[in-house]
Amino acid sequence: MTGSPITGLGSSRLGPAERAQALDRMASEEFDVVVVGAGIVGAGAALDAATRGLTVAVVEARDFASGTSSRSSKLIHGGLRYLEQYNFDLVREALTERGLLLQRIAPHLVRPVPFLLPTTRRVWERAYLGAGVALYDAMAFQMGITRGVPHHRHLTRRKALRLAPALRKDAFVGAIQYWDAQMDDARYVVTVLRTAAEYGAQVASRAQCIGFLREGERVTGVRVLDLESGHKTEVRARQVVNATGVWTDEIQDLVGGRGQIHVSASKGIHLVVPKDRIHSSTGIILRTEKSVLFVIPWGRHWIIGTTDTAWNLDKVHPAASKSDIDYVLSTVNEVLNTPLTPDDVEGVYAGLRPLLSGETDETSKLSREHVVAHPVPGLVMVAGGKYTTYRVMAKDAIDAVAHGLDGKIAESCTDRIALVGGEGFQAMWNARHRLAAKSGLHVARIEHLLQRYGTLIDDLLLLIAERPDLGKPLTGADDYLRAEIVYAASHEGARHLNDVLTRRTRISIETWDRGVGVAEEAAELLAPVLGWSRQQIDREVEYYRKRVEAERDSQTQEGDQEADARRRGAPEIVPTY
């Protein structure tokens, strides 16, 4: 499963050896395209380019998906609220992508999720919202992409309370239930990158773009600093794609001159609470003054968010303040029988949306649509958009690359290509009981692995067969097997403990101690794969503890300035050299 039997181009494995090989090739070859940034748009651009037959390199300054793409609401959705803004084209595009992801591209990673939309007025609001949801479903139906996503339905208050007993009876008069989809955003990015690697892309994290190569006014590549070794490399390319999200302006500054794209950062925070704190069998969506607040099912937890406020401070580690947390709690408590308190919050995370700057300073009114520009020869910039439409953004960016390259470049085909682990997923899911019997794992464990790795589960089961101790759960985070920690480093590009506990798994937001209790065990599992000494293990664990401490401290501060200052109190992750 880690090889490429169809293409023969490469392996989907992103381990230490593959990273070293990728950096060696970057130093010695000229590529058709270098992608700067390995969030969802950069990953998508790399896959789009690789499947068109182009040679591709991808560099990321931190971990894959370490910015916006691991801190979203984890929804694949059409954007129901954009109908109110009459942005029908954006909704139609997003619904098309939702259908493709559910049915063809990532059936192992994307799955339907129900939402209850309470109404507070008996006639006009139900008619108004009902018309919007009906249009939402109708648009999806017209495009033939509704399989697996039920149609909406109107509910009386009594029927709504059967689904969501946690709601206060006096907080609503009825409800509409509709369906969207969800995924683990960071895991999805890694899977896209692994698919790009399988089609020949050379991928490296912790490889920071520190400048551009130029021939006259033309960009001919990038200068890269390997943050793990301190070594600098020049990577030559016929075209460079800047897909750095909220860092677009900073990368733009490296090339000099006035850019064509300007991006503003909007902070959104989410809270994670245990499943038993809100008695409901469905997600809930609440309309607020400026936007909406989601209560999203997440395994044994709920994710509640999000906010939408301007952010001009540290982009690497945006901080959630006490005010942010209080706002989310007070908003959701308006409709709950048993109010949530700060003591109910297991985890908190904050992320930044890259919004295209307009004339208004109000981030909720800035554009969610994307733009592609060619500011100077050899450089393509893509920014804006939303997670759900990443594939369209990637296609448009590589269309611009193709325009800048000599010769005929094939059309995008990513709408027809399953991500690694997706091909044959349904058949393997149907055989999950047989897999459980053969492996000795409980069927619940097999289901967990299938929904995270798809048919790549074979890799995990082989690891466990070779080392039975890896089939045991982590002590203190028993949703995850020990094999998943090893696999994160050997196959998924994790370089540090923080990468594993925060993004390859979600232990940092799904446990009361935010992963501190499993840090030592996880680091010990990672050490042989990453070649860590005892000293490095201790440094990784200490860094993680200080990071959690700084985050907790920042979340007790009233405002953004104070929260940012406290979050910056943690040292940066340590290199291994």
Question: 305 lies in a domain?
Answer: yes
- Residues 202 and 275 reside in one and the same domain: no
Mean pLDDT value of segment 425-450:
97
Whether residue 206 has pLDDT greater than 60:
yes
Look at residue 103 and tell me whether its pLDDT is greater than 60: yes
Return the pLDDT at 6.
Answer: 45
Decide which of 406 and 516 is more confident: 516
Residues 390 and 527 reside in one and the same domain: no
Q: What is the pTM of this model?
A: 0.94
Give CA–CA dist 117/114, Å, rounded: 10
Residue 126 falls within a domain, yes or no? yes
Percent of the chain with pLDDT over 70: 89
Answer yes or no: is pLDDT of 1 > 50.
no
- Do 397 and 255 lie in a common domain? yes
Token output for 35 = 């992608």
Nearest to 32 by CA among 58, 54, 10: 54
pLDDT digits (tens, 9 = 90+) for 278-309: 999 999 999 887 778 999 999 999 999 999 99
pLDDT of residue 7: 43
> Does a structural domain hold residue 11?
no
- Mean local confidence (pLDDT), 524-546: 97
Of 364 and 460, more confident: 460
Q: Which amino acid is at 554?
A: S
Range 218-222 average pLDDT = 97
Dihedral over Cα of 174, 178, 180, 182: its sign: positive
Q: Could you give the angle at the alpha carbon of 81 between the alpha carbons of 80 and 83, nearest 5°? A: 75
Residue 449 within any structural domain of the chain: no
Please give the pLDDT value at position 365.
43
Is residue 77 a part of any domain in this protein?
Answer: no
Residue 363, in any domain of the structure: no
Any idea what the CATH number is for the domain that residue 343 is in?
A: 3.30.9.10
Rounded to the nearest 10 degrees, how much is the dihedral formed by the CA atoms of 321, 324, 326, 327? 170
- Decide which of 87 and 102 is more confident: 102
What's the gap between Cα 194 and its chain centre? Answer: 14
Closest to 264 in 3D by CA, of 204, 308, 327, 208: 308
Pairwise CA distance, residues 516 & 32, whole Å:
43
Q: What angle do CA 31, 35, 38 make, to 5 degrees?
A: 140
- pLDDT above 70 for 409: yes
CB 142 within 8 A of CB 488: no
**pLDDT tens sequence across 492-505:** 999 999 999 999 99
Question: Can you point out the beta strands (E) in 516-572?
Answer: none
- What is the predicted pLDDT for the residue at 138? 66
Residues 176 and 194 in one domain: no
pLDDT > 60? residue 187: yes
Q: What's the CA dihedral at 413, 418, 420, 424 to 10 degrees?
A: -150
User: 223-231: long-range contacts (C-beta < 8 A, 24 or more apart)?
Assistant: 224/26, 224/59, 226/23, 227/61, 227/575, 228/495, 228/575, 228/576, 228/577, 229/575, 229/577, 230/575, 230/577
User: What pLDDT does residue 216 have?
Assistant: 93
Confidence band for 364, pLDDT divided at 50, 70 and 90 = very low
Determine the average pLDDT of the residues in 83-95.
69
pLDDT of 562 strictly over 80 = yes
Q: Are residues 324 and 390 in the same domain?
A: no
Taking residues 357-385, report their average pLDDT. Answer: 72
DSSP state of 567: H
Residue 312: inside a domain: yes
The whole-number average pLDDT for the span 21-29 is: 98
Residue 99 to residues 77, 184, 288, 430, 501: CA-CA distances in angstroms? 10, 17, 28, 21, 30
The answer on 124 and 62 residing in a single domain is no
Among candidate residues 416, 434, 450, the one where a domain is terminated: 416
Asked if residue 154 lies in contact with residue 174, where contact means CB atoms within 8 angstroms, the answer is: yes
Question: pLDDT at residue 491 above 90?
Answer: yes
Closest CA to 500 of 466, 536, 524: 524
Q: What integer pLDDT is reported at residue 126 of this predicted model?
A: 60
In a domain, 79, yes or no: no
- pLDDT greater than 60 at residue 370: yes
User: 407 or 328, which is more confident?
Assistant: 328
User: Two tokens at 271?
Assistant: 């809270």
The CA distance from 191 to 492, in Å, is 8
Residues with Cβ < 8 Å from 182, sequence gap 6 or more? 74, 75, 76, 110, 111, 113, 296, 297
Residues 357/517, Cβ–Cβ less than 8 Å: no
How many alpha carbons lie under 13 Å from residue 221 in its C-beta half-sphere? 18
Distance of CA 517 to the CA centre of its chain: 25
How many structural domains are present in the chain?
3
pLDDT at position 577 over 60 = no
In this predicted structure, what is the pLDDT of residue 127?
54
% the chain with pLDDT above 90: 76
Residue type present at position 545: R
Q: Judge whether residue 182 has pLDDT over 80.
A: yes
Instruction: Assess whether 541 and 412 both reside in one domain.
Output: no
> Which residue range(s) make up the domain with 58?
16-69+187-259+370-416
| 231 and 274 inside one domain | no
pLDDT reading at 136 higher than 70: no
269 shares its domain with 175 = yes
pLDDT of residue 524: 98
Q: How confident is the model at residue 91 (pLDDT cuts 50, 70, 90)?
A: confident
Q: For residues 268 and 164, state if they share a domain.
A: yes
Decide: 544 and 537 in contact? Cβ < 8 Å. no
With a cut of 50, say whether residue 8 has pLDDT above it.
no
CATH (domain of 245):
3.50.50.60
Q: Are residues 217 and 202 in the same domain?
A: yes
Does the pLDDT value for residue 407 go beyond 80? no
Higher pLDDT, 348 or 147: 348
d(CA 529, CA 484): 13
Q: Do the strands 473-474 and 477-481 form a parallel or antiparallel pair, or are they unpaired?
A: antiparallel
Q: Based on the domain organization, do 175 and 277 belong to the same domain? A: yes
| Measured distance CA(239)–CA(253) in Å, rounded | 17
Strands (E), 30-145: 30-36, 56-59, 75-76, 111-119
pLDDT 10s digits, 224-274:
999 999 999 999 999 999 999 999 988 888 887 555 678 889 999 999 999
Structure confidence at residue 498 (pLDDT):
97
Mean pLDDT of all residues in 62-84:
86
What φ, ψ does residue 148 adopt, rounded to 5°? 90, -10
Dihedral through CA 360, CA 362, CA 363, CA 367, nearest 10?
Answer: -40
Alpha-carbon gap, residue 4 to 13, rounded angstroms: 10
What stretches of 97-157 adopt beta strand conformation (E)? 111-119, 153-156
